[in-house]
Amino acid sequence: MDFKKYLKKTVIGAVLIIVCFILQTSIFGKLPLGGVTPNLLIMLTSFFGFIYGNKEGTIVGFFSGLLLDMFFGVHFGMFALIYLSIGFLNGLIRKQFFGDDVKLPLLLVALSDLLYGLTVYLTIFLPRKKTNLYDYFMTIMMPEVMYTILVAFFLYFVFVRIKDWESTAEKRSESTYFG
């Protein structure tokens, strides 16, 4: 990959991480449904891994988690590790990418959010002797997954358009470079 493509992908990823972080912590933070907000950074990490592959998903996941660790982390590095893992796992499914089919990406976002919720429960709540997993699952994990999927349904097509725009720009620059 040449430097221009790498730089463009890095800038797109950084901008999307910052935008999702701001939306998640400000606008959607003021619009909770059922006491939960959508996890846009999980959605972004899942989409990046699914659309671009495990390397890009891992990098976006790491920096998304690191940003959360800096602002909200209980155990520094925990979110970075969780998000990094989620980005990597979603990247393993990349070969199944079909731009307009939204079912698989939404399923991956849901599974990613469930994995995130379970990991947070095991690392933060269980050591504090809060052992009612069923209550946590029904009042926090499932409502958050549903809200995240609802938002992801609309934002997935934005991510596909960004990918299409990026691919078109690459082809255009290659044709003028070689042409």
Q: Give the DSSP per-residue string, 90-120.
A: HHTTGGG--TT--HHHHHHHHHHHHHHHHHH
Question: Token pair for residue 173?
Answer: 């620059």
Separation CA 41–CA 165 (nearest Å): 22
pTM of the model: 0.88
Token pair 């069923």: residue:
134
CATH of 3-94+102-156, one of 1.10.3470, 1.25.40, 2.130.10, 1.10.1760: 1.10.1760
CA within 13 Å, CB half, 96: 14
Q: How far apart are CA 23 and CA 29, in angstroms?
A: 8
Contact (Cβ atoms closer than 8 angstroms) between residue 125 and residue 84: no
pLDDT values of the chain reduced to their tens digit, one per residue, 179 residues: 578 888 888 899 999 999 999 999 999 988 888 889 999 999 999 999 988 889 999 999 999 999 999 999 778 999 999 999 999 999 998 766 565 678 889 999 999 999 999 999 999 888 887 778 899 899 999 999 999 999 999 999 898 888 888 878 767 766 655 54
- 36 strand-pairing partners: 33
